[in-house]
């Protein structure tokens, strides 16, 4: 997918890995404050907006945390261009959710043409090739048959299944000494194929700027966790002139 930025865009923000959940009100409040005050013309959320998303029919739960999130995003989507990409936690986000959020579902990967350059956008999980256990899991849950069967289950059952998968993931994090990173050779090949010099992604929770072959670079977004010590929440901002700049998200 290729997206040509309209001429009216002078500032673009990228965020990812907010992992919104009812138990973390600080991150939700910070997102609300940021969306209400950002100067960006467009905001790209590159995956894992939600800690878990079990299907767009979760929208029927009036007064739920999910509805509050959607209402917040809808308000933002009315004043700026909002693009949302599926992550490894919320890969079941669909067109009904995007419509409710007044947002566009962004394919993974996509190329944004902005400020005279091509930016390759991805969540990043698909390229962590050394994490073979996760790659097997990803292939399973991204298969259309698996998703059809899962979405046919009652909503309450899906919530319980998702809770179990999250618990397994957290247990694995605690026992794993090192998490796999995006494969450098694959990232280079993707950039060459996309004719881009910049890759922007999240997923790894390791914000950094990596130099690559032929003056290419890989820009890794921060995760958001306002309950951490110290709190984490960064925005990668692009302007028509100047280099990408990582800035702290404004807090309430």
Domain CATH number, residue 122: 3.60.21.10
Predicted TM-score (pTM) of this structure:
0.95
Can you tell me which residue has the tokens 């995007």? 98
Residues of the chain by 3-state class (helix, strand, coil), percent to 5: 40, 25, 40
Statement: residue 87 has pLDDT above 80: yes
Q: Is residue 145 part of a domain?
A: yes
Q: Is residue 171 part of a domain?
A: yes
Domain range for 178 is 8-248
So what's the pLDDT on residue 103?
98
Statement: residue 177 has pLDDT above 90: no
Q: Is residue 27 part of a domain?
A: yes
So what's the pLDDT on residue 65?
92
Q: Is residue 78 part of a domain?
A: yes
Q: Is residue 33 part of a domain?
A: yes
Q: Is residue 88 part of a domain?
A: yes
Q: Is residue 108 part of a domain?
A: yes
Long-range contacts of 185-190 (CB under 8 A, 24+ apart): 186/127, 186/129, 187/127, 187/212, 187/218, 188/212, 188/213, 188/216, 190/109, 190/120, 190/122, 190/127
Tens-digit pLDDT profile for residues 180-225: 899 999 999 999 999 999 999 999 999 999 999 999 999 999 999 9
| Sequence-distant (≥ 6) Cβ neighbours of residue 94 within 8 angstroms | 55, 56, 105
**Number of H helices and number of E strands within the chain?**
7, 12
Tens-digit pLDDT profile for residues 99-157: 999 999 999 999 999 999 999 999 999 999 999 989 999 999 999 999 999 999 999 89
Q: Is residue 219 part of a domain?
A: yes
> CA 49 to CA 20: how far, in whole Å?
6
Dihedral sign from CA coordinates of 138, 174, 226, 131: negative
Can you tell me which residue has the tokens 């067109």? 95
Domain count across the chain: 1
């Amino acid at each position: 997918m290729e997206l040509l930025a309209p001429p009216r865009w002078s500032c673009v923000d990228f965020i990812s890995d907010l992992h919104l959940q009812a138990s973390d009100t600080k991150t939700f409040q910070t997102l609300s404050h940021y969306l209400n005050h950002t100067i960006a013309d467009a905001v790209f959320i590159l995956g894992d907006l939600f800690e878990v998303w079990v299907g767009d029919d979760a929208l029927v739960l009036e007064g739920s945390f999910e509805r509050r999130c959607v209402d917040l995003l809808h308000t933002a989507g009315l004043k700026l261009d909002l693009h949302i990409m599926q992550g490894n936690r919320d890969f079941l986000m669909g067109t009904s959710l995007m419509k409710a959020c007044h947002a566009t579902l962004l394919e993974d990967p996509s190329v944004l043409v902005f400020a005279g350059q091509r930016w390759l956008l991805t969540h990043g999980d698909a390229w962590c090739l050394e994490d073979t256990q996760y790659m097997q899991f990803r292939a399973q849950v991204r298969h259309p048959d698996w998703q059809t069967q899962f979405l046919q289950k009652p909503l309450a059952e899906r919530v319980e299944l998702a809770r179990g998968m999250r618990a397994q993931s957290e247990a694995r994090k605690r026992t794993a000494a090192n998490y796999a990173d995006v494969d450098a050779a694959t990232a280079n090949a993707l950039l060459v194929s996309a004719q881009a010099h910049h890759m922007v992604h999240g997923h790894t929770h390791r914000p950094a700027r990596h130099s690559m072959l032929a003056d290419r670079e890989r820009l890794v977004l921060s995760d958001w966790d306002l309950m951490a010590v110290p709190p984490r929440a960064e925005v990668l901002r692009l302007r028509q002139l100047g280099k990408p700049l990582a800035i702290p998200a404004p807090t309430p």
